[in-house]
Amino acid sequence: MAESATSGNVVVVSAPSGAGKTSLVRELRRTLSAVTVVVSHTTRDRRDGEVDGTNYHFIDSKRFHAMVAADEFVEHAEVFGNLYGTSRTEVKRVTQHNQHVILEIDWQGAAQIRASVRACRSIFILPPSLASLSDRLTGRGQDDADTIERRMAAARDEISHYADFDYLVVNDNFSDALKVLAAIIKGRGDNHRMQTQRPLRQDLIKELLTS
């Protein structure tokens, strides 16, 4: 999947739940014609308003495990008791048509992608503070208090893997973060590489991991 005139790239975007990843990726798809998303498979229940084949391919555990056994996923993971996977065939189909594939996955899936896709760009998105992360999760109105508390507890674990990624982006302003992500996809985001951003974001990282 190396970058060429006839092949797109795989771009991995990870973040703790509530950091704004999905909204950013949705806007990238709207504004960049060469960007698309492979619809993942999942065993979790469908939420109100979600459409099978658009938000996810909703399948049962038996079928999911059969797909794993047949090596049909380029990555798969269990998140909050539910299974998620990205179709190997779909990733190949999209990149062969000169489209960049954006994969919205957690750190476990990102590690699998980095191990199997050589020409992969991986991006980690941080919230501007722990308080803003909590506000965003609460503001969704989709999850109960216990689920929000569990997601907040899991956020630190997700964030603890940030340094494994190629790029670091802080979503403190949606428009600015969107521009940075677009630049990275276009190969012009060197000032947001991990080795540059990590020392600049040490105070924020410390707050997110220790508060």
Q: What is the CATH number for 145? A: 3.40.50.300
Q: Is residue 1 part of a domain?
A: no
Dist. CA 34–CA 169, nearest whole Å: 21
Q: Is residue 131 part of a domain?
A: yes
Beta bridge partners of 150: none
- Supply 168's token pair: 């670091």
Q: Is residue 136 part of a domain?
A: yes
Over residues 149-184, the pLDDT tens digits come to 787 888 889 999 999 999 999 999 999 999 999 999
Give this prediction's pTM: 0.80
Task: State percent of the chain over pLDDT 70.
Answer: 94
| Residue range(s) defining the domain that contains residue 146 | 10-38+99-210
Q: Is residue 48 part of a domain?
A: no
Dist. CA 137–CA 132, nearest whole Å: 9
DSSP 8-state assignment for residue 191? G
Q: Is residue 200 part of a domain?
A: yes
Q: What is the pLDDT of residue 5?
A: 41
Confidence of residue 141 (pLDDT cuts 50, 70, 90): low
Q: Is residue 157 part of a domain?
A: yes
Q: Strand order of the sheet with strand 10-14?
A: 35-37, 100-104, 10-14, 120-126, 167-170
Confidence of residue 1 (pLDDT cuts 50, 70, 90): very low
Domain count, the chain: 1
Range 8-28 average pLDDT: 91
Q: What is the pLDDT of residue 77?
A: 86
Q: Is residue 16 part of a domain?
A: yes
Q: Is residue 163 part of a domain?
A: yes
Dist. CA 53–CA 42, nearest whole Å: 11
Q: Where are the beta strands (DSSP E) in 59-131?
A: 73-79, 82-87, 100-104, 120-126
